[in-house]
Amino acid sequence: MKKRVIQAVRDELQREFILEKPKDLSFGHYATPIAFSLAKELRKSPMVIADELCKKFENSVIFKEVISVKGYINFRLSEEFLDEYASWAISNESEFGKSDKTESILLEYVSANPTGPLHIGHARGAILGDSLYRIGNHLGYKITSEYYVNDAGSQMAMLGLSIFLSGRENVLKVEVEWPQEYYRGEYIVDLADEANEELGAVVFEDEKNIEQLSVWGKDKMMELIKSNLADVDIEFEQFVSEKSLYNKWNDSFKKLEESDKIFIEDGKTWIRSTDLGDEKDRVVIREDGRPTYLAGDVIYHDNKYQRGYDHYINIWGADHHGYISRVKAAINFLGYDEKKLEVILAQMVALLKGGEPYKMSKRAGNFILMSDVVKDVGSDALRFVFLSKKSDTHLDFDVDMFKQEDSSNPIFYINYAHARINQVFKKSGKTLEDIKDIKLENLNDDAANLLYSALLLPEILEDAFESRQLQKVTEYLKTLSASLHKFYNENRVVGEKDEEKFLKLFAMVGVSIRVGLKLIGIEAKNKM
């Protein structure tokens, strides 16, 4: 809709302009301040220029009226145009809001270490990433979703050791001396029991088997992580193993050397990341010759950029904030444009239940498991609440809110609006086929505003994706549902003279609710 408006205005004005949306619909659907920018050039007041420009739209079929308001040009869309767009959307629901972008994007998210089940902190980035992926694809971006598996380094050795010691203690029944750092939680005991069944107790008899247990444990954890993600309907197109990339370290290191941005000090090899804003230079090779954790990211981003995407998005936990500058510096030193990398930070989540802190899981070692919360509130509620605020803001919520069957529970309220639409159609005895060709004309103000709101979804999706603020989608769905409920409560539909018009209006609202929810991973309910 907005694109059609922009094109229509551009065709008449033959100039570039800014298109705004008045906060009060009584002023119109769109407005432009172009007259102010032309005042100096034309040596006229903005009000005179606006009056003159309005005359250019007198024969427009898209606009019902174009008027000058204190130098602004305000546009009100015609019922004919809105009806035409609604008729198309109702008949082409799967295409509603789609666009044709050319940009290719590699979107990496979750990438949790495969050393344990996903906790609730991982869930926020997972749901944000998956929803960006869905909306971006719908808008036409060529997006690939990727999970970077950190299966190299000390955390893998610690996983193998933890399983090994648990097996000795609980399977072989021998006394063990636990190190200061190891993975805690009942899931480690479960892994040891499973290793006993699959590999035999002999695997716990010799420390030489720790490496085998590390690889075996990583595979089991990845199965569990994929299962946790599937519970909220998240799947990845591809997984990239950190370990598999290490044979490319020499190639990546050679690029760093050629940049003249590395130096050796205290037996360690450093990159001059302070040259690009980092608080201090960083080590990439330890004294013993082993690459650091940062080296793994150097190889991975070298690999990413070699694949030739236009843009790269990483979703990281907020605790990785200080890591951004060093990774971008490394990308620059590899010879790439670090500005192509965008990092979105997902803040932590504080959960309550009945006003009290949510109980942590002994199985996970005193973390709140993502799977536990999904079982408690369901995938739909979890997805919706995690998208209800900007990802870089702290999120507090009480899971008991999602057991309320009123407007305090947003996902219930939206689903109830969708179910109400289906109920009205059922009560009327009519189908979409019966009303799709009805003309939406001579509507009262409430109906006209509801129709306009229902047709806004495509530009809401564009804005939400481009700004990476997906709370704009959840807010839109709540607002649209509230408008539907208000209209229903104030206007009789079935049996009235405008019944078929209102049914078509409700059908359009239903399309926007279904499409909007689907693009954040939720299926609208037909009855409550």
What is the H or E stretch that residue 6 is in? helix 2-13
Give the ranges where 139-209 is alpha helix by DSSP (H): 154-170, 186-199
User: Tokens in use for 56?
Assistant: 């250019």
What is the per-residue pLDDT for 406?
84
d(CA 473, CA 459): 10
Rg (CA), the chain: 29
Compute CA 70 distance to the chain's CA centroid, rounded to the nearest angstrom.
Answer: 40
The bridge status of strand 282-285 relative to strand 311-317 is unpaired
261-310 confidence digits (pLDDT tens): 999 999 999 999 999 989 999 999 999 888 888 999 999 999 999 999 99
Surface-to-core class of residue 289, CB atoms within 10 Å of its CB (0-12 exposed, 13-18 middle, 19+ buried): exposed
What is the per-residue pLDDT for 403?
84
CB 443 within 8 A of CB 502: no
CATH number of 410-518: 1.10.730.10
Domain 104-147+236-346 has CATH 3.40.50.620: yes
> What residue has token string 């709101």?
453
CATH number of 2-77: 3.30.1360.70
Amino acid at 283: V
Partnered with residue 345 across adjacent β-strands are 316
Neighbours of 366 (CB within 10 A): 11
Q: Whole-angstrom distance between the N-terminal and C-terminal Cα of the chain?
A: 32
What string of pLDDT tens digits covers the 528 residues of the chain?
888 899 888 988 888 899 998 888 888 999 999 999 999 888 999 999 999 999 999 888 899 999 999 999 999 999 999 999 999 999 999 999 999 899 999 999 999 999 999 999 899 999 999 999 999 999 999 999 999 999 988 899 999 999 999 999 999 999 999 999 999 889 999 999 999 999 999 999 999 999 999 999 999 999 999 999 999 999 999 999 999 999 999 999 999 999 999 999 999 999 999 999 899 999 999 998 888 889 999 999 999 999 999 999 999 999 888 899 999 999 999 999 999 999 999 998 889 888 888 888 777 777 889 999 999 999 999 999 999 999 999 999 898 888 888 888 999 999 999 999 999 999 999 999 999 899 999 999 899 999 999 999 999 999 999 999 999 999 999 999 999 999 999 999 998 889 999 999 999 999 999 999 999 999 999 998
In the chain, where the domains are located: 2-77, 104-147+236-346, 154-230, 410-518
| Backbone CA torsion sign across 349, 354, 355, 357 | negative
3-state secondary structure 440-489: CCCCCHHHHHHHHHHCCHHHHHHHHHHHCCCHHHHHHHHHHHHHHHHHHH
Q: pTM for the whole thing?
A: 0.93
Backbone angles phi, psi at 477, to 5 degrees: -65, -40
